[in-house]
Structure 1
């Protein structure tokens, strides 16, 4: 006999990063290692060089958070892919602190 097909609504995945951590343990370094990403690097003469860079992106995780959204590291990198310079690194770092609440 054929059994009727029933439809069930999947339960949403819990957002663990946004829940309170009752353990009160800060993590010194959390992030993604060895991200290969295309960049355009400005040189001293005003020219540009196209290359692939390897990034390690980490933040300090305060004790009140259980985790971080790892995809945001890549999103931040993608926002700055057109021209990475010494000056733009500061912008990248500030964006990491802001978006990852670290």
Structure 2
């Protein structure tokens, strides 16, 4: 089960004290606009990252997604997705607060 939320609300939770009470395994359902594709890449942890537009373009929300699922994705397209809060290990350090796409589809 996923909690409906907007991109801005989810970013606010991530940036708030103790991540707004979010826990590993929590799932959220949102629709967002793909953004800044020139910065989509495979990060140091080996996972592919895309960005969703937040706060009218003043910010972005990064999410890990299987690169194969992003074939054909373009800036400005809307995507409906379910993301799950998780951990990631980068340069030997494991931290929480990372979002992984569970399911995603481009919406008209």
- TM-score norm. by structure 2 comes to 0.22
Greater gyration radius: 1
- TM-score norm. by structure 1 comes to 0.23
- Which structure has the highest helix share of the two? 1
